[in-house]
Amino acid sequence: MNRVDALQSCLAAEHAALFGYGVLGGVLAGVPAGEPDLERAQSSYAVHRQLRDDLTVLISEAEAEPVAAAAVYDLPFTVRDRLGCRHLARLLEGRTATVYGLAIAATVDEDRAFTAAALRGSVLREVSWGADVVPFPAIPEL
């Protein structure tokens, strides 16, 4: 995998994460302001939007066409309540962490720092949603 392919994979993961957080937003729409799940979902959505935008710039600067978001993404289960929201958020963050972990191997310098920071952020958000702490996140074979 080359640098641009790695960044494109990260961008595709960000598109999917944003779709998933949009679903969470719909489920959490009736939750009172200030509730931890709502605040965490809003914050996570904002971070993923910024990562998407940053990746779009990096890919464009490499004179490549950034991968477009799909119109719709299949979710692995129906999200109906807060428990489902937490489960989906952990899944979204775990998937983005895995993609960023793979991208680290295909990037150098500023791109590697960017993907490593994004990996760290995804893992921290995944844990904030209730995932277990693991020694080598995004590297399941270790």
Task: Give residue 2's pLDDT.
Answer: 93
Q: What is the pLDDT of residues 121-130, one digit of tens each?
A: 999 999 999 9
Closest CA to 123 of 84, 77, 92: 92
Q: What is the pLDDT of residues 73-128, one digit of tens each?
A: 999 999 999 999 999 999 999 999 999 999 998 999 999 999 999 999 999 999 99
Task: Give residue 140's pLDDT.
Answer: 63
* Summary mean pLDDT of the chain: 94
| Residue boundaries of the structural domains of the chain | 3-128
Q: What is the pLDDT of residues 32-64, one digit of tens each?
A: 888 999 999 999 999 999 999 999 999 999 999
> In sequence order, which residues have a C-beta less than 8 Å from that of residue 41 and are 6 or more positions away?
21, 24, 25, 28, 85, 89
CATH of 3-128, one of 3.40.640.10, 1.20.1260.10, 3.30.420.40, 3.40.50.10070: 1.20.1260.10
